[in-house]
C-alpha cells in the first residue's frame, strides 16, 4: 500500500483517546489491590499473635518494606506500559531497593546465628508458603497484565516482571499476616524466593503476552 | 526550528486525539521523513525500508492512545520505531538463518573432483550422510521430495513444530560442516 493512502486511512480512523496518566492507572490498581487485600484478610483471618507482632519494629518494617515494593513496582509497571516509559526508565529499579534492603537484613540475621541453618530450612519443604504466595498473586497479576497489554509496552520483560513483583509482594504481606513463622531462614527460602520466582514468571509471561499489545 | 517542530508535532497529536483528522494526517506526513531517516541510519538501503516505515507508522497509529502526557512526542515515537526495528531485524535474521543452506549452493562449492566422481544423487547422499538418520529423512522429504513440514510430520508421526526444529538443526549442522570444510 502507498504511504499516502495509509495516512489517509489513519486520518479516517482517527487517533485513539489517550489513556489516563500512568500514576492514575497505578492509583486504580493500588485501590483495587487494597480492596483485594482487605477481602483476603477478612477471608483468611490474622495470625494468632498479631497483637504482639504489631509492637515489633522489625515486623512492621518488613511489612512496610514489602508494601513499598508492591506500590513502587505497580507504579513502575504502569509507566512501563508506555512505549517510552514516560521518560522515567529509572523507575524500574526503585522497587528493588526496599526488597534488597530487607533481604540484606534477613541475611544479617542468619549470619548472626539467630536463624535456622538454610539446609534445615529447605528440608522443611514449606511448599504451602510458595503456593499461598502464588495463589494470592494470581488475581492482581492477571488484572495488571490485562491493563498493560491494552497499552503499548516496548520493554515487555520489565513490564511483566514489575507486575509480577507487585502482585507477589502483596502476596508476601498477606502471607505474613496469616502465617506465624518468623524464622529469617524460612522468610528467605519460603517467602522471598517465591516472590522472586513469581517475578521471573512475570518476566517470561510479559515477554510472551505483551507481544500481542497495541504494537503487535 | 527543532523546538518549533517538536511543539507542532505535540500540538498535532493533541489535536488529533481531540478528533481532528486533518491534524492527524499532517502529523503522519511530518513524521514519515523522520522515521525514514531513523531507519536509514540503522538499516542503510539494503533492506526493504518502505515496508518497515509503514509498519512503524501503523504502530504509531495503533499506539496513539499511549501518548497521554505533555512529554516529548519524538521520544515516544522513536521508542516505537526502535521497538519495531528490533522486531523487524529479529524476523529478518530468523528468516536469513533458515534459508542459509541451499543445496544448489552447496553443490557449487564442492571441488571438481567430487562432482566428477559422483552423480548428483550420490553427492546429496554423501552430504546428508553427516546428519543423523531422522534428520536425513526429514531433509530428504522436505528438500528433495518436496513435502511440506505438515506432510512430513504426518508421515513421520511427529508434530509439525518438531519437524521444523529438526530441519532447522539439520541446516545448521550442514552449515557448520560446510564452514569446517568437511563437506
- Residues of A within 8 A of B19 (CB-CB) are 14
Q: In angstroms, rounded to a whole number, what is the distance separating the alpha carbons of residues B131 and B128?
A: 6
Contact A151 B75 (CB under 8 A): no
- Residues of B within 8 A of A152 (CB-CB) are 59, 62-63, 66, 80
Terminal CA-to-CA distance of chain A, rounded, Å? Answer: 19
> What would the mean pLDDT of B32-56 be, rounded to a whole number?
84
Q: Which of residues 56-95 of A touch B (CB under 8 A)?
A: 81-87
Length of chain A in terms of residues written: 216
Record the cell numbers describing residue B112, joined without a space. Answer: 571438481
pLDDT-derived band at B160 (thresholds 50, 70, 90) equals confident
pLDDT at B13 over 80: yes
Angle at Cα B107 formed by Cα B103 and Cα B113, nearest 5°?
A: 160
Instruction: Please tell me the distance in Å from A157's CA to the nearest CA on chain B.
Output: 13
Task: State residue B1's pLDDT score.
Answer: 43
Q: In angstroms, rounded to a whole number, what is the distance separating the alpha carbons of residues A78 and A212?
A: 17
**Whether the Cβ atoms of residue A73 and residue A162 lie closer than 8 Å to each other:** yes
pLDDT at B113 over 60: no
Q: In angstroms, rounded to a whole number, what is the distance separating the alpha carbons of residues B101 and B44?
A: 25
Instruction: Please tell me the distance in Å from A24's CA to the nearest CA on chain B.
Output: 11
Question: Whole-prediction pTM value?
Answer: 0.73
Contact A3 B84 (CB under 8 A): no
Task: Name A216's Cβ contacts closer than 8 Å, sequence gap at least 6.
Answer: none
Radius of gyration of chain B from its Cα atoms, rounded to whole angstroms = 25
Residue in chain B closest to A82 (alpha carbons) equals: B66
Q: In angstroms, rounded to a whole number, what is the distance separating the alpha carbons of residues A182 and A168?
A: 18
Q: In angstroms, rounded to a whole number, what is the distance separating the alpha carbons of residues A213 and B132?
A: 41
**Whether the Cβ atoms of residue A18 and residue B67 lie closer than 8 Å to each other:** yes
Q: Name the residue facing A17 among B24, B65, B78 (closest C-beta).
A: B65
| Under-50 pLDDT residues of chain A | none
Angle at Cα B36 formed by Cα B35 and Cα B40, nearest 5°?
A: 120
Task: State residue B25's pLDDT score.
Answer: 94
Task: State residue B121's pLDDT score.
Answer: 65
% pLDDT > 70, chain B: 78
Q: What is the pLDDT of residues B127-136, one digit of tens each?
A: 888 888 888 8
Task: State residue B151's pLDDT score.
Answer: 81
Q: In angstroms, rounded to a whole number, what is the distance separating the alpha carbons of residues A172 and A169?
A: 5
- Residues of A within 8 A of B50 (CB-CB) are 3
Q: What is the pLDDT of residues B81-111, one digit of tens each?
A: 999 999 888 887 877 666 655 666 666 655 5
Task: State residue A169's pLDDT score.
Answer: 95
Of B121, B151, B122, nearest to B138 (Cα)? B151
Contact B65 A151 (CB under 8 A): yes
Q: Give me the helix-helix angle, A22-44 and A57-80, nearest 10°.
A: 140
Q: Name the residue facing A10 among B24, B65, B84 (closest C-beta).
A: B24
What secondary structure, in 3-state letters, does A62-115 show?
Answer: HHHHHHHHHHHHHHHHHHHCCCCHHHCHHHHHCCHHHHHHHHHHHHHHHHCCCC
- Residues of B within 8 A of A91 (CB-CB) are none
Q: What is the ipTM of this complex?
A: 0.83
Of A133, A130, A166, A120, nearest to A147 (Cα)? A166
- Residues of B within 8 A of A24 (CB-CB) are none
> What would the mean pLDDT of B155-180 be, rounded to a whole number?
82
Q: Which of residues 29-48 of B touch A (CB under 8 A)?
A: 29, 32
Contact B79 A84 (CB under 8 A): yes
Contact A19 B68 (CB under 8 A): yes
Q: In angstroms, rounded to a whole number, what is the distance separating the alpha carbons of residues A179 and A174?
A: 9
| DSSP conformation letters of B50-96 | HHHHHHHHHHHHHTGGG--SSS-HHHHHHHHHHHHHHHHHHHHHHHH
pLDDT-derived band at B80 (thresholds 50, 70, 90) equals very high
- Residues of B within 8 A of A1 (CB-CB) are 54
Terminal CA-to-CA distance of chain B, rounded, Å? Answer: 60
Instruction: Please tell me the distance in Å from B24's CA to the nearest CA on chain A.
Output: 6
pLDDT at B181 over 70: yes
Instruction: Please tell me the distance in Å from A68's CA to the nearest CA on chain B.
Output: 25
- Residues of B within 8 A of A18 (CB-CB) are 17, 65-68
Q: If residue A18 lies in a helix (H) or strand (E), which one and from where to where? A: none
Amino acid at each position: 500500500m502507498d504511504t499516502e493512502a495509509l495516512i489517509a486511512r489513519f486520518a479516517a480512523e482517527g487517533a485513539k483517546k489517550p489513556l489516563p496518566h500512568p500514576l492514575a492507572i497505578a492509583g486504580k490498581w493500588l485501590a483495587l489491590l487494597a480492596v483485594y487485600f482487605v477481602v483476603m484478610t477478612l477471608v483468611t483471618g490474622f495470625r494468632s499473635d498479631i497483637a504482639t507482632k504489631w509492637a515489633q519494629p522489625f515486623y512492621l518494617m518488613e511489612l512496610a518494606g514489602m508494601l513499598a515494593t508492591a506500590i513502587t513496582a505497580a507504579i513502575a509497571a504502569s509507566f512501563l506500559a508506555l512505549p517510552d516509559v514516560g521518560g522515567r526508565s529509572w523507575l524500574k529499579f526503585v522497587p528493588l531497593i526496599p526488597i534488597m534492603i530487607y533481604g540484606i537484613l534477613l541475611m544479617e540475621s542468619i549470619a548472626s546465628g539467630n536463624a535456622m541453618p538454610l539446609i534445615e530450612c529447605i528440608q522443611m519443604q514449606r511448599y504451602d508458603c510458595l503456593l499461598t504466595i502464588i495463589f494470592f498473586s494470581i488475581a492482581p497479576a492477571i488484572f495488571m497484565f490485562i491493563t498493560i497489554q491494552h497499552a503499548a509496552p516496548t520493554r515487555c520483560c520489565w513490564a511483566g516482571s514489575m507486575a509480577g513483583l507487585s502482585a507477589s509482594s502483596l502476596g508476601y504481606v498477606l502471607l505474613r499476616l496469616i502465617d506465624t513463622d518468623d524464622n529469617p531462614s524460612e522468610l528467605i527460602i519460603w517467602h522471598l524466593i517465591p516472590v522472586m520466582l513469581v517475578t521471573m514468571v512475570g518476566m517470561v509471561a510479559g515477554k510472551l503476552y505483551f507481544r500481542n499489545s497495541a504494537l503487535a | 526550528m527543532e523546538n518549533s517542530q517538536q511543539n507542532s508535532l505535540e500540538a498535532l497529536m493533541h489535536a488529533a486525539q481531540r478528533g481532528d483528522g486533518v491534524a492527524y494526517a499532517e502529523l503522519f506526513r511530518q513524521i514519515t521523513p523522520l522515521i525514514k531517516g531513523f531507519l536509514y541510519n540503522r538499516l542503510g538501503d539494503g533492506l526493504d525500508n518502505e515496508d518497515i516505515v509503514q509498519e512503524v507508522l501503523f504502530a504509531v497509529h495503533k499506539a496513539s492512545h499511549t501518548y497521554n502526557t505533555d512529554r516529548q512526542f519524538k521520544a515516544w515515537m522513536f521508542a516505537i520505531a526502535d521497538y519495531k526495528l528490533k522486531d523487524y531485524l529479529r524476523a529478518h535474521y530468523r528468516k536469513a538463518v533458515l534459508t542459509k543452506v541451499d543445496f544448489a549452493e552447496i553443490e557449487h562449492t564442492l571441488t571438481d573432483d567430487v562432482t566428477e566422481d559422483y552423480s548428483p544423487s550420490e553427492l546429496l547422499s554423501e552430504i546428508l550422510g553427516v546428519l543423523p538418520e531422522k534428520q536425513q529423512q526429514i531433509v530428504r522429504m522436505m528438500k528433495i521430495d518436496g513435502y511440506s513440514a505438515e506432510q512430513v510430520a504426518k508421515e513421520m508421526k511427529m508434530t509439525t513444530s518438531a519437524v521444523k526444529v529438526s530441519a532447522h538443526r539439520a541446516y545448521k549442522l550442514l552449515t557448520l560442516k560446510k564452514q569446517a570444510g568437511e563437506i
